[in-house]
Chain A
């Protein structure tokens, strides 16, 4: 089992609240990712980072923001939550130098419900 952690595992919050989803890994990986997954649907990349102070938007447009101040920590923030943000959010990490394989290790996910 990979050493990548997400908190909280479940969150129910009202519209307009600011939330931060935490993700941390103890493997020393440079690359980290945030995915969004709705039930029965594929994962969509919303943010990624190559290392400290590096963040990029992914393929799926998202109103969330991320930061990478420390290698092991990659939090995701929603300034004003809306019901459309209800989803499962998965964090992942991978080594920076693994050739073509670049295996990603996933955290357990945060199930977010905005009422």
Chain B
């Protein structure tokens, strides 16, 4: 069964600290993996997209890694800010259909305290 599992479910950190969010998936065949940031009451916004051949991609203070062999990804946030408080969603796309179906994780709820 194609699944995307994220950990931890929730995380609280102090402003200025770093953190790492985890994503494990069983989706096959694999096309790409995306990390989205979803603020409360808003739609998700893309942070990074990585294909099979990429093992790291950065977007400002966000760095995503991908290990396609172990089917694991991580999102590292450096020098956290209050505005980083949001849900971070891992999404994996397959190529098993013309739609290129997306499989969503339940997200990690990050709270940054001052």
Chain A interface residues toward B at CB < 8 A: 1, 4, 40-45, 48, 59, 90-92, 100-109, 111
Beta-carbon contact of A42 and B43 below 8 Å: no
Q: A92-B43, A107-B43 are in contact. Are A102 and B105 (CB under 8 A)?
A: no
Residues of A within 8 A of B106 (CB): 40-42
**Bound form: Cα–Cα A109–B42 in Å:** 6
Instruction: Give me 8 A-to-B residue pairs in the complex whose CB atoms sit less than 8 angstroms apart, sorted by A's number.
Output: A42-B4, A45-B101, A100-B95, A101-B49, A107-B43, A108-B43, A109-B42, A109-B43
Task: List 6 A-B pairs, minimum CB-CB distance, nearest first.
Answer: A106-B43, A42-B104, A43-B104, A42-B106, A106-B44, A107-B43
Beta-carbon contact of A101 and B32 below 8 Å: yes
Beta-carbon contact of A103 and B102 below 8 Å: no
Q: A106-B45, A108-B43, A109-B42 are in contact. Are A100 and B104 (CB under 8 A)?
A: no
User: Whole-angstrom distance from the CB of A100 to the nearest CB of chain B?
Assistant: 5
Q: How many B residues face the partner with a CB closer than 8 A?
A: 24
Closest residue of B by beta carbon distance from A44: B104
User: Whole-angstrom distance from the CB of B114 to the nearest CB of chain A?
Assistant: 25
**Bound form: Cα–Cα A41–B104 in Å:** 9
- Identify which of B41, B45, B49, B51 contacts A109 (C-beta below 8 A): B41
Residues of A within 8 A of B51 (CB): 100-101
Q: Which of B19-67 contact A (CB under 8 A)?
A: 31-32, 34, 41-46, 49, 51
Q: A42-B106, A100-B51 are in contact. Are A48 and B99 (CB under 8 A)?
A: yes
Beta-carbon contact of B102 and A104 below 8 Å: yes
Q: Which of B84-114 contact A (CB under 8 A)?
A: 89, 93, 95, 99-102, 104-107, 109
Beta-carbon contact of A102 and B44 below 8 Å: no
**Bound form: Cα–Cα A109–B38 in Å:** 11
Beta-carbon contact of A100 and B102 below 8 Å: no
**Bound form: Cα–Cα A41–B41 in Å:** 14
- Identify which of B31, B45, B105 contacts A100 (C-beta below 8 A): B31
Residues of B within 8 A of A48 (CB): 99
**Bound form: Cα–Cα A94–B45 in Å:** 13
